[in-house]
Amino acid sequence: MRTVLTFGTFDVFHVGHLRILERAAAMGDRLVVGVSSDALNIAKKGRAPVFPEGERQRLVAALRCVDDVFLEESLELKREYLLRHRADVLAMGDDWLGRFDEFSDICRVVYFERTPAISTTAVIEKIRL
């Protein structure tokens, strides 16, 4: 059984999120998703998510392509998460290109092209206008 693991905030869920999850799921038999905690999101993006971590976890877990969800609490624990979930593949968006190559000793690392012209920041800005 091939396990694919990915990480993300998945705030203000949009088609770009869905596409990366579907592409990741297609690479294996089981998709595990680490949803960034509120505190981690504030640390890495300088702002709180629109939706709290529990709601974001529930939304991601409800998707057909997702088999398991956990709370990602630290970027420094990526290796531990990959080992704990026995990941064969780490799939990330290409906005992280090269950042996780260090894990190629324990799993295959794949970077997907992002969906053009859509991002959570762009959606939030459109709503504000």
Tell me which residue range forms the domain holding 69: 3-128
End-to-end CA distance of the chain: 46
Q: What is the CATH number of the domain that holds 29?
A: 3.40.50.620
pLDDT of residue 45: 87
Encode pLDDT of 25-45 as tens digits. Answer: 999 999 999 999 999 999 988
Question: Which pair of tokens denotes residue 51?
Answer: 């939706």
Write out the two tokens for 30.
């089981």
State the pLDDT at residue 14: 86
Helix/strand/coil (H/E/C) assignment for every residue in the chain: CCEEEEEECCCCCCHHHHHHHHHHHCCCCEEEEEEECHHHHHHHHCCCCCCCHHHHHHHHHCCCCCCEEEEECCHHHHHHHHHHCCCCEEEEEHHHCCCCHHHHHCCEEEEECCCCCCCHHHHHHHHHC
Query: Mean per-residue pLDDT for 92-98?
Result: 92
The tally of domains found in the chain comes to: 1
pLDDT at 114 > cutoff 90: no
- For the full predicted model, state whether its pTM sits above 0.75: yes
Report pLDDT for 36. Answer: 97
Q: What digits encode the pLDDT tens for the residues 6-27?
A: 999 999 888 889 999 999 999 9
- Kind of pairing, strands 108-112 and 3-8? unpaired
